[in-house]
Chains A and B, each alone.
Chain A
């Protein structure tokens, strides 16, 4: 009991520091992780065993893939091609960018997609003399939606996929359909919000049409190789069950293969610049801290009280998880939230008994956390990254500016998710 209180205190202090960002979040998570060992809440062996290496190596593998793919220039090519295809018309650009961001996020992860596409969007908006904020906000929303659609799109999904037996295909079958519906309805919302008011002069449009995006594809060979490897990775992920391969193995195989093909001479540069060690160690620290709560039985207690409230009824529990995680993800970073929720749902499984009844709970958690991230400016990493880029370039997007739009889309998403969960699993 005493240890549980210590574990809870370390957890609370760390999460408080992560949310307020008073110190670097990786530093907070790692310090917290080792404090629970130093205070003998868990021993080092147990804490290290709690680190989900499948998640860690999956992230590293994807960072390798992305580092080589960025080099091919394909992402920038797509963005500029889109602006040209839209003939510089603002609403068309917004809609096409929304779709592209969602699709690329589903395959590459939301944060990376935002990091690559937002600077180009700022350039395009600047050239067309359009206010960049609506474009950036809508892209952030798209990235979190796209990320929700697959196991590899958003960190919470990777963590859920790794903690459970669900394959890549399970995620596609259960999460992609609702996300498609949500994306389509969101395009409707965009049309309602932005169809009026944005104009571009012919002169400005002509400038954009002069971009020679063909120059961006520096090496056709590398591009073909990267796209082939990416395709093979997705194929391997789809056939995960018959192939009996874990996600991290597939991602690392793809990443290492691409590095060997495309960047073997720049390995050091990739290790230093392109692998986001801050994120990697942030995850490691979180796994350790949460283990303190699991090991001391706190998560068990929490699960028991959730069962008490919902009466152990899966439908009610699903809805509570969906709305609760939607609300929480909107106000805190969804990664630490999911890190704590995963062991709790595992414990709920013990109380509910029938494992098949647990499925909708996991999908509710995935939809709630990924889509809830759109709720406010600080709900997901992609939001923080995008707004950070915009602010540094003098385009202030305030908490209110973002949340006004984000909340509408989030509410729409969570309502549609509620309908989906209800219609698909409980009718």
Chain B
């Protein structure tokens, strides 16, 4: 199956004007309602998109936003898209390609495959430049057709992972680790060498554990203790202790071509909320349980 097979040149907009997110949504709704028989249309559809947008962000860092509407009893998949030469601000992410997908309540597999295809495309800078240089919907349509963008049956981890994630080197000290974690609001990160070779992971509990001696961990419970000095002293040792001393080396990781179900399986089995993605010994990405929830399950 090709992406172009799902498209209608009349549903593809190319815009030079400076627009707001709402204006883009409105135009897409207008187009799609003109050419297709939808159970819900007009303002109602527009409201659904806005509501969806508030619940879970539809924007991806590659500059694509994919609002997805499920309709009871529709039994089809239609796609409308807008190429914006002046990117629109989606809560801090610059978006130049908005793709509205309308599917049946139950058909999520086709949808996920379309998303995967769109995501791959949005990461391919030369392909995107080619598409963006088109002047109208028809030429975009033909270019997409020529590219023979395939819709894969399966979604791979590489489709949903964060590429080039925040990582740390083993020689960094705990102050730097602390900073990276708090600045990026992440509870764990991969450890790599200067050539991005994957070495292991370090998480926030490894960091906190520095302040707790081993013997405390051997007690059955600590409810008799109100304060404890060594924990408070963690901050004194921040500059001396290196990441290498607290990281874990034998963490399980994923290949980029691993399936979503494999990732979920490994996460549950090993009680991990994020996993490094490693290819030929090098760190290529990071996938979080939240990514799977937001991009796959609730998508």
- Spell out A's residues near B (CB within 8 Å): 70-71, 73, 76, 80, 115-116, 118-120, 122-123, 126, 210-216, 218, 389, 392-394
Task: Given A76-B224, A212-B226, A215-B224, verify A126-B213 contact (CB < 8 Å).
Answer: yes
A-B contact pairs, 23 of them (CB 8 A): A73-B220, A76-B219, A76-B221, A76-B224, A118-B215, A119-B215, A119-B216, A119-B218, A119-B219, A122-B213, A123-B215, A123-B225, A126-B230, A211-B224, A211-B225, A212-B223, A213-B224, A214-B224, A215-B223, A218-B221, A389-B214, A393-B213, A393-B214
Pick the residue among A70, A210, A389, A393 that contacts B220 (CB under 8 A): A70
In the complex the two chains form, is B224's CB within 8 Å of A389's CB?
no
Task: Given A122-B213, A126-B213, verify A71-B226 contact (CB < 8 Å).
Answer: no
A69 vs chain B, min Cβ distance (A): 10
- Spell out B's residues near A (CB within 8 Å): 213-216, 218-221, 223-226, 230
In the complex the two chains form, is A122's CB within 8 Å of B215's CB?
yes
Q: A71 — nearest CB in chain B belongs to which residue?
A: B220
Q: In the complex the two chains form, what is the Cα distance from A263 to B213 in whole Å? A: 29
B interface secondary structure, majority: loop
Extra inter-chain contacts (16) besides given A116-B220, A212-B226, A392-B214, CB under 8 Å: A71-B220, A73-B220, A76-B221, A118-B215, A120-B219, A123-B219, A123-B225, A211-B224, A211-B225, A212-B223, A212-B224, A213-B224, A215-B224, A216-B224, A218-B221, A393-B213
Q: In the complex the two chains form, what is the Cα distance from A116 to B220 in whole Å? A: 9
With a cutoff of 8 Å between Cβ atoms, the chain B residues found around residue A115 in the complex are: 218
Q: In the complex the two chains form, what is the Cα distance from A98 to B216 in whole Å? A: 21
With a cutoff of 8 Å between Cβ atoms, the chain B residues found around residue A218 in the complex are: 221
Q: In the complex the two chains form, what is the Cα distance from A122 to B219 in whole Å? A: 11
Q: In the complex the two chains form, what is the Cα distance from A389 to B218 in whole Å? A: 9
Q: In the complex the two chains form, what is the Cα distance from A126 to B233 in whole Å? A: 14
B219 vs chain A, min Cβ distance (A): 5
Q: B216 — nearest CB in chain A belongs to which residue?
A: A123
With a cutoff of 8 Å between Cβ atoms, the chain A residues found around residue B221 in the complex are: 73, 76, 216, 218
Q: In the complex the two chains form, what is the Cα distance from A212 to B226 in whole Å? A: 8
With a cutoff of 8 Å between Cβ atoms, the chain B residues found around residue A76 in the complex are: 219-221, 224
A interface secondary structure, majority: helix
B5 vs chain A, min Cβ distance (A): 52
With a cutoff of 8 Å between Cβ atoms, the chain A residues found around residue B220 in the complex are: 70-71, 73, 76, 116
In the complex the two chains form, is A393's CB within 8 Å of B215's CB?
yes
Q: In the complex the two chains form, what is the Cα distance from A211 to B213 in whole Å? A: 18
Q: B217 — nearest CB in chain A belongs to which residue?
A: A119
In the complex the two chains form, is A80's CB within 8 Å of B215's CB?
no
Q: In the complex the two chains form, what is the Cα distance from A76 to B224 in whole Å? A: 10
Q: In the complex the two chains form, what is the Cα distance from A212 to B224 in whole Å? A: 5
B229 vs chain A, min Cβ distance (A): 8
With a cutoff of 8 Å between Cβ atoms, the chain A residues found around residue B218 in the complex are: 115, 119, 389
A199 vs chain B, min Cβ distance (A): 19
Q: In the complex the two chains form, what is the Cα distance from A413 to B220 in whole Å? A: 33
Q: A122 — nearest CB in chain B belongs to which residue?
A: B215
With a cutoff of 8 Å between Cβ atoms, the chain A residues found around residue B224 in the complex are: 76, 80, 211-216
Q: Which of B213, B220, B230 has the most CB of A within 10 A?
A: B220
With a cutoff of 8 Å between Cβ atoms, the chain A residues found around residue B214 in the complex are: 389, 392-393
Q: B223 — nearest CB in chain A belongs to which residue?
A: A215
Q: In the complex the two chains form, what is the Cα distance from A113 to B256 in whole Å? A: 50
In the complex the two chains form, is A389's CB within 8 Å of B215's CB?
yes
With a cutoff of 8 Å between Cβ atoms, the chain B residues found around residue A123 in the complex are: 215-216, 219, 225
Q: In the complex the two chains form, what is the Cα distance from A392 to B225 in whole Å? A: 22
Q: Which of B215, B221, B223, B225 has the most CB of A within 10 A?
A: B215
With a cutoff of 8 Å between Cβ atoms, the chain B residues found around residue A216 in the complex are: 221, 223-224
B231 vs chain A, min Cβ distance (A): 12
In the complex the two chains form, is A210's CB within 8 Å of B215's CB?
no
Q: In the complex the two chains form, what is the Cα distance from A115 to B221 in whole Å? A: 14
B109 vs chain A, min Cβ distance (A): 37
A243 vs chain B, min Cβ distance (A): 33
With a cutoff of 8 Å between Cβ atoms, the chain B residues found around residue A122 in the complex are: 213, 215
Q: In the complex the two chains form, what is the Cα distance from A118 to B214 in whole Å? A: 12
A56 vs chain B, min Cβ distance (A): 26
A67 vs chain B, min Cβ distance (A): 11
B211 vs chain A, min Cβ distance (A): 13
B148 vs chain A, min Cβ distance (A): 54
Q: In the complex the two chains form, what is the Cα distance from A214 to B224 in whole Å? A: 7
The 9 residue pairs across chains A and B that have the minimum distance between CB atoms: A119-B218, A122-B215, A119-B215, A215-B223, A392-B214, A393-B214, A211-B224, A213-B224, A393-B215
Q: In the complex the two chains form, what is the Cα distance from A306 to B225 in whole Å? A: 57
A250 vs chain B, min Cβ distance (A): 26
Q: A125 — nearest CB in chain B belongs to which residue?
A: B215
Q: In the complex the two chains form, what is the Cα distance from A118 to B218 in whole Å? A: 9
B105 vs chain A, min Cβ distance (A): 40
Q: A77 — nearest CB in chain B belongs to which residue?
A: B224
Q: A120 — nearest CB in chain B belongs to which residue?
A: B219
B110 vs chain A, min Cβ distance (A): 42
With a cutoff of 8 Å between Cβ atoms, the chain B residues found around residue A392 in the complex are: 214
A84 vs chain B, min Cβ distance (A): 11
Q: In the complex the two chains form, what is the Cα distance from A120 to B230 in whole Å? A: 15
Q: B218 — nearest CB in chain A belongs to which residue?
A: A119
Q: In the complex the two chains form, what is the Cα distance from A118 to B213 in whole Å? A: 13
A130 vs chain B, min Cβ distance (A): 14
Q: In the complex the two chains form, what is the Cα distance from A392 to B216 in whole Å? A: 12
Q: In the complex the two chains form, what is the Cα distance from A215 to B220 in whole Å? A: 12
With a cutoff of 8 Å between Cβ atoms, the chain A residues found around residue B219 in the complex are: 76, 119-120, 123
Q: In the complex the two chains form, what is the Cα distance from A119 to B218 in whole Å? A: 6
With a cutoff of 8 Å between Cβ atoms, the chain B residues found around residue A394 in the complex are: 213
Q: In the complex the two chains form, what is the Cα distance from A378 to B215 in whole Å? A: 21
With a cutoff of 8 Å between Cβ atoms, the chain A residues found around residue B225 in the complex are: 123, 211
Q: In the complex the two chains form, what is the Cα distance from A214 to B221 in whole Å? A: 12
B209 vs chain A, min Cβ distance (A): 13
Q: A215 — nearest CB in chain B belongs to which residue?
A: B223
With a cutoff of 8 Å between Cβ atoms, the chain B residues found around residue A71 in the complex are: 220
Q: In the complex the two chains form, what is the Cα distance from A115 to B216 in whole Å? A: 12
